[in-house]
Structures are given as structure tokens and as C-alpha cells.
A = this chain, B = another copy of it.
Amino acid sequence: WGSPARSRPRQQGFVTRTNTCGELRSAHVGQEVTLYGWIQYQRQGLFLVLRDFQGLTQIIIPQDEAHAHVKKLLSNAPVESVVRVTGIVSPRPPGQENPKMPTGDIEVKAETAEVLNFCKKLPFEIKDFIKKSEALRMQYRYLDLRSSQLQYNLRLRSQIVMRMREYLCNLHGFVDVETPTLFKRTPGGAKEFLVPSREVGKFYSLPQSPQQFKQLLMVGGLDRYFQVARCYRDEGSRPDRQPEFTQIDIEMSFVDQAGIQRLIEGLLQYSWPEERGSITTPFPSMTYEEALADYGTDKPDTRFGMKIVDIGDFLRGLDIQFVQKALSYPHGSVKAICIPQGVVSDALHTEVMEIICRPDGSLKSLLTKFLGEKQQSELIQALNMQVDDVVLLAAGEHKQVCSALGSLRLESADLLEAAGLVLRDPSAFHFLWVVDFPLFLPKEENPAELESAHHPFTAPHPSDTSLLYSDPTKVRSQHYDLVLNGNEIGGGSIRIHNAEQQRFVLEKVLKEDSEVLSHLLEALEFGAPPHGGIALGLDRLISLIVDAPSIRDVIAFPKSFRGRDLMGNAPDYVTPEELEPYHIQVSWPLEEKEFLASSCLHPCPTEQPWCRSNSSE
């Protein structure tokens, strides 16, 4: 940890162990110790390896008659049984030290032992969990949790969050405030879980974030709020999303965009685990327009180049039909990326054209016939093409062209790395602020109408405030995203604190019913301070820090991608009697009813469609 020396926590308090299985060294030789742990391995009644959360210790099983009982206990206990061992720390015989093991200089000669619980045959070996199907591992999540990887991930997560709290609470005076999770539906909150109440027809809603509450806390004069907040989002089945997730939720009064950015940079620097190197601040910043133009996305992975290059000007004068057509659009453009060493996806966009740089430096492309020698060499220079490089060129509407090339850039990077090139240093962490987003976007289903690019509480950019009333599509916002290695790990904004402006945005621009937000609008009229904030996606951030493939690897009990708990089998059927106090009933589709009734295998007290049937995932 990159901060004042922290003493290690005492793992011995309140229990009768003298040491953990990870801490005995030569200095302990001669001491009598009591260890508790799981049998990781046992060999021929001679020795065993005892494991706890902190490491492994080799235990020597006594062979003399006086210790026959201990030998019998330890030799017969199956792997993963829990034992207590008391014994003397001894040096390992010369030549038998294990330098790969932190405790490899010593062993413990067992004097007494006790089997605290036996383990039946495991569904999979714990050390080799990686090879097993994820569904099996999730069903036996408590076994998977014993793996060193998950122990490391969860412990590091706990420590990072603790450091964040120290920074916010102890160093900078933030107040940790818990906000309700049983609230009401927000307008357009289609992804909110509902919770039936005992009042007929009335439902609570599990909020996607504490957005309204954190703003109301600022109106309430709390000044600096943070919360490690549980949030909920019902998106149905989506890979690597969880129906409940955690965000570091922050809000401040009297702050501007730069203030929040410096706060977050300090927060990450302070809580960054030492073992992952250090991070430099301030983080670089890029406007949304630049990110789109150069990387084709609002979350650029800046660990490598291959940036998008505008070649419209080179081609403008040439008589190439698709180029001319593209450039005639209001937002038409012709752009390209240059991929080193010619690895190109097979599944190329049909609108994308290839230009290959031959070993002799000449270009091979459908395009070359339209290009003179000078134009070819200018193109080579502009794109910095080397021999064997491939350029992918796209023409059309600016945003679409950029997005297409942005996706190809990432695909190509994957292909290049699969082919052995190291483009992205796995130990590098590239943070980036993306700023100056548009405040509103045309609705996909009806581009004549506008919707908030992020949420309706985002304040307009100070330079663009007057445009709000004349041409809202042109207004930039005071929203900022934090991007890490091409992943959005946070986002926030300065909020609207003027009731009139907020009402104008809701009613006139977004054409929404402001009645549902009347409490918030009213709050803004009672002396709301200027305020802003941010939320960091904790699960994603931790998974990037520990380089885990999925956020499921940094959550103790994750749901499957279908939103199921495979260990406890949730969600599950309930009886109609249990629904009664909530005045709801299930709308069974006819087929389901019949299927369930016929597929019920257990002897049921009643032949109801809700009787428990296990479904596999």
C-alpha cells in the first residue's frame, strides 16, 4: 500500500490458534504452535499440508507408538477435512527446504491433533477449479471460495474499499450515508426490479443508483456524501452483468468538474494496491468528439495506438464514387486505421475496404487505380504504413464510420495478440477522462425526439447554457466518464441545481411528466447548493485490478448470466398463500401451467403449478 506504514492485522485474537498457516519461518523454530486449517494433501501417513486463508504449512505426522492416535487421525481424515494441529516448529532436513513456499524452511511436528469436521468426496479438486465448468463451480461456490485466486480477489477488494473509505471519510470529511433501496419507480426506469407492498396495487422499486437521494442530501446540507452503494438493474440475461452490483457513490456541494476529477484521482492513487505498481495523476482527458474521432468509441483503450485517421481530404479530389457519396453527406467522412503486420479479421464489414502495403512498399487495393504515385506516398505517410501493414478504410456518416473502425481496431488488437504480438501490457493501467458529452441524444425509435445522454439531472456545459433554449441538440454537458483500459469504470456530472432549468429540461426538452419528480423539483426551490458527483463501478474496477476475466470473479456469491443463484436455486417458486399479503397473483401462461403440473416428480401435498421443480442452467 502506497501510504504511511500500516501494521498487519492480528489474525490471532479471540481464537486459540497461535499462528496462521502462512506465517511460520525459521525464526519460529522450537516454538509450540497451534494451527487450524484444511488438509490440502496427505501422503502415506507421513506428512500433510495444512492450508488456511494465509498459506500452507507442512505437518509431520508422528510415527512413534505414543502418538499412534494422532497418526491414525491425520492419516485417515480425507482431503479438505478441517483439523487442529498442535506441534513444534522444526527446521526441514537439509536439502528438503522448499524455496517456492513462504513457510518452506520449516515443518511442524504434530504432537496433538483433532479432526473438527470431515469432508466427503469433493465434486472437483479445489486447486484445479479453473478447468471445471463455471456452473459446477457456482453450485459449490463455498468450495471455489477456498481457491487462492478467489481468496485473493475478495481480500484485495475488502482492502481497497477500506482504503477508499479512509481517504473519503478520514482525510476529506465525506459522510457515509445509507440511502433507501425500497423506493419508487423513476420515470423511464424500465430496468428496475419491483417489490410488491402490502398496500394493494402499490409497489416499491429497487433503484439503479442512489441518484435522487444523493442530490437530496446535498439540498439537506450534508456537503460531502459517499456510500458503497448496492444498486439493482434488471436487464434479463446479459453476459457479465449482475442484477445487483456495487458502486462507490459520491456527491459534493460547491464543486466543479475539475474538483471531482482531482478527488477521484486522489482516491484511486490512495487506494491503489502497491503490488499493482503506482498510478500517475492527473489522468489524461479527452473530449467525447476526440474519443469518437480517434478511437471510434466513448471509452477508448489508450494502451495502444492504431488510431483512426481522417483521409477525406486526400480522397476528396478523386473520382471514386463511394468516397464522393460519403463526403456529400452532412456528416460524411472517410476514415482509416492502419493495422501492423497484416492481421485482419475475416468477418470484415462489407463497407470497409482493405489497402495492403506490399513488401516492395506499393499499395494493393481496389483503390490504387484511382491514386497517383504522389497520392499513394502521401497516404502511406499520413497513415504511417509499413511493409505488410493493412489499412482498413470506411466511408459514410461520421459517427457510423468511426464506430465501425473503432470496433475493428479492438478486434484487430485481439487478433494481433492472439498471433503473439504484445500490444497491451497486461500490467499497464491507462486511466482517461472523457468529457464534453452531448447533453441530449435523438431517441433511437424516433430521432425527432430527444432523450438524456446520461440522466435528466446533468447540468449543461457553462458555455452552452443559452443553447439549451435555442438548439438543445448542440448543448454539451458537464458529464464526465472515467475510462480504464477501454472500460468505463465510472461516470458523473455536475447537476442542475436551478429548479426552473430542471423543469425546462424535463418538460420542454424531454417532454416527460415532471410530476413523478415533484419532490426533487421542489427540493431545488428550497436553497439547493450547486453540486456534482460521480459513481465508480466497484465490481468492474476490482476485476480490472486483479485482471479477472469476469466481474463474477470478484463477487463472493454472483448470479449466473441468467440472474440465477445456482447454489441456493434462486429465484424460486412460492405458494399462492405467500403472495396473498401482497395482493398479487402469477399470470401463468397456459402451457407452463400444464407443463409444471405434469412434470412434478415429487410427491406433492397439492398439485399446484408452483410446486418446486429444479431447473438447470
**A residues adjacent to B (C-beta < 8 A):** 6, 8-11, 13-17, 36, 38, 51-53, 80-82, 84, 116-120, 122, 140-146, 150-151, 154-155, 158-159, 161-162, 165, 169-185, 190, 193-206, 212-213, 216-217, 219-224, 230, 232, 234, 236, 243-244, 246, 252-255, 259-260, 262-263, 497-498, 515, 519, 523-530, 555-557, 559, 563, 565, 567-574, 578-579, 581-589, 592, 596, 609-610, 612
**Closest partner residue, chain B, to A235 (CB atom):** B198
Q: Are B571 and A262 in contact (CB under 8 A)?
A: no
Q: Are A263 and B13 in contact (CB under 8 A)?
A: yes
B-side contacts of A523, CB under 8 Å? 142
Q: Are A14 and B82 in contact (CB under 8 A)?
A: no
Q: Are B142 and A220 in contact (CB under 8 A)?
A: yes
Task: With both chains docked as a complex, state the minimum distance between the C-beta of A299 and any C-beta of chain B, in angstroms.
Answer: 24
Q: Are A572 and B176 in contact (CB under 8 A)?
A: no
Q: Please judge, given known A-B contacts A259-B15, A527-B118, whether A592 and B200 are in contact too, CB under 8 Å.
A: yes
B497, B559, B584: the one contacting A587 at CB < 8 Å is: B584
Q: Are B179 and A243 in contact (CB under 8 A)?
A: no
**Closest partner residue, chain B, to A84 (CB atom):** B254
Task: With both chains docked as a complex, state the minimum distance between the C-beta of A6 and any C-beta of chain B, in angstroms.
Answer: 7
Q: Are B582 and A585 in contact (CB under 8 A)?
A: no
Task: With both chains docked as a complex, state the minimum distance between the C-beta of A124 and any C-beta of chain B, in angstroms.
Answer: 11
Q: Please judge, given known A-B contacts A184-B569, A220-B146, A569-B184, whether A176 and B201 are in contact too, CB under 8 Å.
A: no
Q: Are A222 and B117 in contact (CB under 8 A)?
A: no
Q: Are A200 and B586 in contact (CB under 8 A)?
A: yes
B-side contacts of A151, CB under 8 Å? 221-222
B14, B36, B236, B578: the one contacting A194 at CB < 8 Å is: B578
B-side contacts of A194, CB under 8 Å? 195-196, 574, 578-579, 582
**Beyond the given A36-B529, A194-B578, could you list 15 further A-B residue pairs with CB under 8 A, ordered by the A residue number?**
A6-B170, A9-B172, A11-B172, A11-B224, A52-B223, A118-B527, A145-B216, A146-B220, A158-B176, A179-B557, A182-B559, A182-B565, A196-B584, A198-B236, A201-B596
Q: Chain B CB within 10 Å — which of A140, A216, A526, A528 has the most?
A: A526
Q: Are B180 and A244 in contact (CB under 8 A)?
A: yes
Q: Are B162 and A569 in contact (CB under 8 A)?
A: no
B-side contacts of A206, CB under 8 Å? 195
B145, B165, B254: the one contacting A15 at CB < 8 Å is: B254
20 contacts across the A-B interface (CB closer than 8 A) = A52-B221, A52-B223, A82-B530, A116-B529, A117-B497, A117-B529, A140-B526, A143-B526, A144-B220, A145-B217, A159-B169, A182-B193, A184-B565, A193-B195, A194-B195, A194-B578, A200-B592, A201-B610, A230-B230, A583-B587
The 6 closest A-B pairs by CB, nearest first: A145-B220, A9-B173, A119-B527, A184-B570, A14-B259, A202-B571
Q: Are B181 and A220 in contact (CB under 8 A)?
A: no
B11, B177, B183: the one contacting A570 at CB < 8 Å is: B183
B-side contacts of A573, CB under 8 Å? 201-203
Task: With both chains docked as a complex, state the minimum distance between the C-beta of A191 and any C-beta of chain B, in angstroms.
Answer: 10
Task: With both chains docked as a complex, state the minimum distance between the C-beta of A232 and any C-beta of chain B, in angstroms.
Answer: 8
Task: With both chains docked as a complex, state the minimum distance between the C-beta of A241 and any C-beta of chain B, in angstroms.
Answer: 13
**Closest partner residue, chain B, to A150 (CB atom):** B220
B-side contacts of A220, CB under 8 Å? 141-146, 150, 556
B-side contacts of A527, CB under 8 Å? 38, 80-82, 117-119
The docked-state distance in angstroms from the alpha carbon of A169 to that of B169 is 15
B-side contacts of A253, CB under 8 Å? 15, 36
Q: Are B568 and A212 in contact (CB under 8 A)?
A: yes
The docked-state distance in angstroms from the alpha carbon of A557 to that of B180 is 7
B-side contacts of A555, CB under 8 Å? 178
Q: Are A530 and B175 in contact (CB under 8 A)?
A: no
Q: Are A222 and B53 in contact (CB under 8 A)?
A: yes
**Closest partner residue, chain B, to A170 (CB atom):** B9
Q: Are B175 and A155 in contact (CB under 8 A)?
A: yes
Q: Are A182 and B244 in contact (CB under 8 A)?
A: yes
B-side contacts of A158, CB under 8 Å? 169, 175-177
Q: Are A221 and B587 in contact (CB under 8 A)?
A: no
The docked-state distance in angstroms from the alpha carbon of A204 to that of B570 is 6
B-side contacts of A154, CB under 8 Å? 175, 177, 222
Q: Are B117 and A185 in contact (CB under 8 A)?
A: no
B-side contacts of A203, CB under 8 Å? 571-574
Task: With both chains docked as a complex, state the minimum distance between the C-beta of A370 and any C-beta of chain B, in angstroms.
Answer: 53
The docked-state distance in angstroms from the alpha carbon of A253 to that of B145 is 15
Q: Are A519 and B568 in contact (CB under 8 A)?
A: yes
Q: Please judge, given known A-B contacts A196-B194, A205-B570, A221-B145, whether A122 and B178 are in contact too, CB under 8 Å.
A: no
B-side contacts of A587, CB under 8 Å? 200, 583-585
Q: Are A213 and B15 in contact (CB under 8 A)?
A: no
Q: Are B219 and A142 in contact (CB under 8 A)?
A: yes
The docked-state distance in angstroms from the alpha carbon of A5 to that of B8 is 19
Q: Are A169 and B9 in contact (CB under 8 A)?
A: yes
Q: Please judge, given known A-B contacts A117-B497, A565-B180, A588-B583, whether A529 and B82 are in contact too, CB under 8 Å.
A: yes
Q: Are A589 and B165 in contact (CB under 8 A)?
A: no
B82, B176, B205, B260: the one contacting A528 at CB < 8 Å is: B82
The docked-state distance in angstroms from the alpha carbon of A118 to that of B499 is 10
B-side contacts of A565, CB under 8 Å? 180, 182-184
Task: With both chains docked as a complex, state the minimum distance between the C-beta of A419 and any C-beta of chain B, in angstroms.
Answer: 39
